[in-house]
Structure 1
Amino acid sequence: MEEDRGAALATERYGSAESWKYFGKHGLMDRRRDGGESESRGKSIVGVFKSVFLPQGYPESVSNDYLQYQFWDTMQAFSSSLSGTLATQASLKGVGVGNQEATVAAATITWLLRDGTGMLGRILFAWRKGSKLDSEAKKWRLFADVLNDFAMFMEILAPYFPACFTLIVCTAGIFKSIVGVAGGATRAALTVHQARRDNMADISAKDGSQETLVNLAGLLVSFLLIPLVTDNPILTLSLFFLFTILHLFANYKAVRSVVMETFNEARLSIVLQQYLTDRRILSPLEANHREPVFFEFRKQVPIKLGVRLQEVVQSPDELSLALKNNNRPFLLGIRNGCVCVCLGPEASVHDEIRAFCQAVWLSSMLREQQSHWEVVHESHKLMDEIFNPFLKGVEAAGWDLKRTLLDWDEWRVEWKTKSN
């Protein structure tokens, strides 16, 4: 068959989606797709769907976990859309829609108070927790969705407590504003992870298209739900809890499917502790599966990164102790049961990783005994022995060492190693 077409002159590919060949015969050039034209026509609808809703160059242009994450993200968006319909109906009923005694002014004031408190909540949350959203994107992503469900539950219950209606919807508005900040910021952090060709804008735009399609589907289903749940609080709550369970499960699966190759505090701590136990380096997949996605409330020894010098040493003698056996651009100390790390301005990414590894080891020692500078000196000796093999191992295992997501504060200190 191929001989009838003539000699093959060239081939071309469109990523992994299409492959074409050029044939020359009788002075003409013919272009045909591998697999035949009938296959091309059969896949045209699928091709259009991919071009509309998936980033250009998919799957090569995105991370390997992209499709699994987007599937679960779509499921959670659909269930959240339906829950939001139930909450919106309850809010409208609470402000007086359908009640002839309700006034437009009262409803408007309630709505403005809700929006105003939400704006203040958004500013305060971004101020207090904005720097944490990059390093703990999975935890804050899941936290945002749990908080969103709780806020919608409050909105559904609000009409049954008319005396406290304004207070309840304002509190729910604050929660939803926090959800907006945390959800949007962590979505951006995950987009950075998914983009493999500097195509963050394309991925973000296609994610918006996917979400719009899901919300449209949720809107159509909502048209069927509204007549059923109107004036039926038992059915409303039953459906809300059903959608909430689906929403939380899909969110959990979504964040669990993400495999980040960049170290944050949790992933680096997990990899280091495994290496100290049996000298085995965990792959990004293994470490991500062990990474906690819920906030932990058990007592841990805190680690502070990028602190001021006075949080590490408080006298010239202590500075000399901090510099003993240490020729690195960082200082470690133990203050009030907390491991503190002071960073120099010339510190590299590898220095940041080493400093945090020492801090993790020190925090594990503090659980056993109250130690001071002797243990700090031991940590320098330990890292001198194991850090270079550890660094080569994590790089070979597929970890990205060009940058980190460690939560460093901005203090940088220069110190004199010798007195003049």
Structure 2
Amino acid sequence: MEEDKGVVLATERYGSAESWKYFGKDGVMERRRGGGEGQSRGNSIVGVFKSVFLPQGYPESVSDDYLQYQFWDTVQAFSSSLSGTLATQASLRGVGVGNQEATVAGATITWLLRDGTGMLGRILFAWRKGSKLDSEAKKWRLFADVLNDIAMFMEILAPYFPACFTLIVCTAGIFKSIVGVAGGATRAALTVHQARRDNMADISAKDGSQETLVNLAGLLISLVLVPLVTDNPALTLGLFFLFTILHLFANYKAVRSVVMETLNEARLSIVLQQYLKDGRILSPPQANQREPVFMEFRKTVPIKLGVRLQEVVQSPEEFNLALKKNNMPFLLGVKNGCVCVCLGPEASVHDEIRAMCQAVWLSSMLSHPTAGQPPAQQQQTHWELVHESHKLMDTVFNPFLKGVEAAGWDMKRTLLDWDEWRVEWKTKSN
């Protein structure tokens, strides 16, 4: 029977989703599915679903972690939609919906104050933390969702404190504005990671379609939910906590599933410290699994990248100390409890990585200071550590860099949080 099909003239495929063959027989060319006729109808239904909700060329056009991330992102969006319904109902009740004594003017003023404070909060947060959202996308993504749950909880409680209702909803509005900035910006950063064919717009559009479908499902369930929770505070709070737990768990699983191949401060620190410990280079999945996704409040020595020269050295003597044993296009110093890095305009991406490696090593060494030293002696110790970091990196950086590239890390760019200051200096004549 196989011979009756004719001669195979050509084959074609649509990504990995389907394949077709062209047969020629008796002067006629016929196109048939490669997997057999029995799959045609089932595959057409699945194919329509994929074309509507998944990026073109899936799975080759996205990162390997795309499906797992989107699954948990869908779960968190669904639970957040239901929590939002409960919060919205509480806010409407708080501004006077259903209360004959409430005035339209009073409700409008409360709503305007909430929106106005939210706008100010959005501007201030973007000003203070905008540059951090790329380099620490996972942390800020999870932070945004935790803050969103806090804001909704405040909105649910607000009607029970009428004297402070406006203050509570305005504070919640500020929190939600921060959520909007942090959530949207980190979503964009994750889209850059997921796009493997310069298809950011397609991934973003399909993510919007997925979220719309989830919100539609949440809307349908909310139509059943709202009559049940009306005038039932205990049930409202119980369901809210249930949805919140699901929301936070799904968000944690979502950010944990992301495997970024670019180095930020946390991932570089993890990879470098493991290499200095036993010479082993961690792969992107291994390092991402160890990367912290919660905001850390433990005391560490912070690192500032791309600072002004005066934040590194403040005298000709210190300038000479910064140049000692240093032939790199960057200067390191320790000032006011911070490791500061001053970058030259000719520095390459590899130079930036090396500077960060030295800063990470310095930060780890300074996290365990020697007690009882006078300030002058501490400053001298700091410069000795800076010189030691140059000697260490002269020995280990090149093999470390080759190992990192071989392990699958993207070394063409980084997510290190460099500021924009660039300094040119004259090296010593000797």
Normalization by structure 1: what TM-score? 0.99
Aligned to 1:269: 269
Q: Does 1:282 align with 2:282?
A: yes
In the alignment, residue 418 of structure 1 is paired with which amino acid? K
> Using the alignment, how far apart are the partners of 2:363 and 2:174 within structure 1?
36
CA offsets, 1:179-203, max 9 Å, x none? Answer: 0000000000000000000000000
In structure 2, the partner of 1:367 is: 367
The offset of 1:419, in angstroms, is 6.0
Question: Match of 2:57?
Answer: 57
Deviation string for 1:27-62 (max 9, x for gaps)?
A: 111111111122011211111000000000000000
2:151 corresponding residue in structure 1: 151
* 1:223-263 superposed Cα distances (whole Å, 9 cap, x missing partner): 01011000000000000000000000000000000000000
Count of residue pairs brought into register by the alignment: 420
Q: Secondary structure at the match of 1:9?
A: strand
Please name the residue that 2:25 is paired with: 25
- The residue number in structure 1 matching 2:396 is 386
2: CA distance between counterparts of 1:174 and 1:365?
Answer: 39
For residues 368 and 169 of structure 1, do their structure 2 counterparts lie closer, same or farther at Cα, with a shift above 3 Å needed?
Answer: closer
- Classify the secondary structure of the residue corresponding to 1:222: helix
Q: Please point out which of 395, 414, 424 is paired with 1:404.
A: 414
Give matches, 1:16-415, under 5 Å: 16-369=16-369, 370=378, 371-415=381-425
Match of 1:3 in 2: 3
Three-state SS of the structure 1 residue aligned to 2:339 is strand
TM-score by length of 2: 0.96
**Counterpart of 2:57 in 1: which secondary structure?**
coil
Residue ranges of structure 1 left out of the alignment (5+ in a row): none
Which residue number in structure 2 is paired with residue 13 of structure 1?
13
**C-alpha distance in 2, partners of 1:143/1:45?**
38
CA distance in 1: counterparts of 2:337 and 2:147, whole angstroms: 32
Letter in 2 for 1:187: R
Larger CA deviation: 371-380 vs 126-135 = 371-380
Specify the SS of the correspondent of 1:16.
coil
Map Cα deviations across residues 288-344 of structure 1 (whole Å, 9 max, x no partner).
Answer: 000000011010011111111011111112111111111110001111222110000
CA distance in 2, matches of 1:298, 1:368: 13
Matched residue SS, 1:116: helix
- What residue identity is the alignment partner of 1:124? L
Which residue type is aligned with residue 413 of structure 2? Answer: R
SS at match of 1:85: helix
For 1:3 and 1:193, how far apart are their aligned partners in 2?
48
Provide the rounded CA distance (Å) in 1 between the counterparts of 2:217 and 2:171.
Answer: 29
Aligned partners of 1:76 and 1:9: how far apart in 2? 49
Secondary structure at 2:368's aligned position in 1? coil
SS at match of 2:22: strand
User: Secondary structure, in 3 states, of the residue corresponding to 2:415?
Assistant: coil
Q: Which amino acid aligns with 1:64?
A: D
RMSD between aligned alpha carbons?
Answer: 1.0
Structure 1 stretch displaced more, 376-385 or 267-276 = 376-385
Q: Report the Cα distance in structure 2 between the residues aligned to 1:373 and 1:99, rounded to whole angstroms.
A: 69
Taking the aligned partners of 1:183 and 1:51, their CA distance within structure 2 comes to: 26
User: Which letter does structure 2 place at the counterpart of 1:42?
Assistant: G
Matched AA of 1:363 = S
Structure 1 counterpart of 2:41, which letter? R
> Secondary structure of the equivalent of 1:30?
strand
1:215 Cα offset (Å): 0.1
Unpaired stretches in structure 2, ≥5 consecutive residues: 370-377
Supply the distance in 2 between the matched residues of 1:265 and 1:167 (Cα, whole angstroms). 38
SS of the aligned residue for 2:342 comes to strand
C-alpha distance in 1, partners of 2:229/2:337?
55
Q: How far apart, CA to CA, are the structure 1 residues paired with 2:71 and 2:367?
A: 42
Q: Distance in 2 between matches of 1:106 and 1:221?
A: 31
Give 4+ residue runs of structure 1 displaced > 2 Å after superposition.
Answer: 367-371
Matches of 2:85 and 2:105 in 1, distance apart? Answer: 24
